[in-house]
Amino acid sequence: MTRFLAPLLVLAAALTGCAGYTVDGAKPAVLASVKTIAVPMFRNDTLLPRAEALATSAAAEAFVNDGTYRIGTRDSADAVLEGTVSKIDYAQLRSARLDTLRPLELQDTVTLTWVLRDAANPNQVLASGTSSGWSRFFVDSNLQTARNNSLPDALQRASEAMVSRLANGY
At 5-20, the pLDDT tens digits run 666 666 666 666 555 5
Has this prediction a pTM greater than 0.85?
A: no
Question: In this model, does residue 25 exceed pLDDT 70?
Answer: no
- Output the pLDDT for position 140: 86
At 97-133, the pLDDT tens digits run 898 888 999 999 999 999 999 999 999 999 999 999 9
Cβ-proximal residues to 99 (8 Å cutoff; 6+ apart), any chain: none
Q: Could you state, in order of their start, the residue ranges of all structural domains in the chain? A: 25-168
DSSP state of 26: -
In CATH, which superfamily holds the domain spanning 25-168? Lipoprotein like domain (3.30.160.150)
Gap between the Cα atoms of 123 and 115, Å rounded: 11
